[in-house]
Amino acid sequence: MSQKQARESKHFDLVSLADGVYVCIHKPGGGALSNAGIVDLGGRTVLVDAMGTVAAGRELRATAEALFGRPVSAVVLTHPHSDHWIGASAFGSETLFLATEPLREACVPYGRELEEEYKDRAAWEAELGELEQRLATEQDERMRVSLANGIAHTKIVMADMADYVPRYPDLTFAGPLTFHGEKWVAEVRPLGRGHSADDVALLLPDDGIAFIGDVGFFNTQPFLADSDLGLYREQLCFVLGSGLQTLVPGHGPVGGRAEAEQELAYFDVMEELVGKIVSRGGSLAEAKQIALPAPFDAWLVGGMNRFAANVEFLYKRFGGVIPAGT
């Protein structure tokens, strides 16, 4: 594969950040579902995350190998949500898969659950049919985008599900880890609980670049439902205080301080709006109808299910009672 071919993928767009440093930005409707980083340290290639389907992981591997003409030495996992590591199954044993021990432990239940789900192809076919029926009648354009992306993702998963074998991290670390290459020094920094059960960032301090995983959702809704929101805020504040100027999120475009600050503002707006409804005894259904102000209203396109999950998370956090069966 040539470098030109390496830049063409239906799953992601390849963006150069510096000499030998790339980010793969996931495309709506593709199989990536999340961003990934490719770093040529000089003599070895290190990836940040492995994307959310085997098909996307395959293209990520091929892209990295085409760019630098060598196998990938290591994949560093930023957190246990499966949209960031299912693609690791596309990598061979020559590629080390690294994570913290708590992160690895959190991956295993996700992987086992997916293995069981993938055995029931009939259920996936039924879900696909339901999504297609809903799309045929849905009028809300925001929801239409969500449904269309869900249909595309389901088809990509179904193409590989019969042969899926989960790849869990095979090397764990407990504290900061440093990769020394001929070109770069990369620092792997555990951030602890926050967005998820355990989060990790990869920093390139010499060039002011940080791959922050899902600590960063830029110009798109963060996923709050698995978070400790107070610690999540602290993670973003750490990133803002790091002095690193180029921030690569797990979702959305590459950004910087302004985008991280805007993400914190989203937390504040959502807490204020949902909190007001709970304080006056409003229902969960009412909370899900809140109208977000600009620019956050534009973030809903393609992400209405995530919005509903965030509202439910905050509704419970403020003491609201979730109706049985919700």
User: What per-residue string of b and e applies to 124-145 under the rule 16 or more CB within 10 Å gives b?
Assistant: beeebeebeeebeebeeebbbb
**pLDDT score recorded for residue 14:** 97
Domain contains 325: no
Q: Which of 238, 260, 282 is the last residue of a domain?
A: 260
Domain contains 326: no
Read off the pTM. 0.94
**pLDDT score recorded for residue 325:** 65
Domain contains 70: yes
**pLDDT score recorded for residue 7:** 58
38 shares its domain with 59? yes
218 shares its domain with 135? no
Among residues 181, 149, 232, the alpha carbon closest in space to that of 68 is found at 181
Domain contains 144: yes
Q: How many domains does the chain contain in total? A: 3
The β-bridge relationship of strands 96-100 and 171-173 is parallel
305 lies in which domain range?
266-317
Q: What is the pLDDT along the chain (326 residues), one digit of tens a residue?
A: 444 445 579 999 999 999 999 999 999 999 999 999 999 999 999 999 999 999 999 999 999 999 999 999 999 999 999 999 999 999 999 999 999 999 999 999 999 999 999 999 999 999 999 999 999 999 999 899 999 999 999 999 999 998 899 999 999 999 999 999 888 899 999 999 999 999 999 999 999 999 999 999 999 999 999 999 999 999 999 999 999 999 999 999 999 999 999 999 999 999 999 999 999 999 999 999 999 999 999 998 778 889 999 999 999 999 998 877 66
Among residues 16, 74, 41, the alpha carbon closest in space to that of 185 is found at 41
41 shares its domain with 95? yes
Domain contains 48: yes
190 shares its domain with 96? yes
Domain contains 322: no
132 shares its domain with 34? no
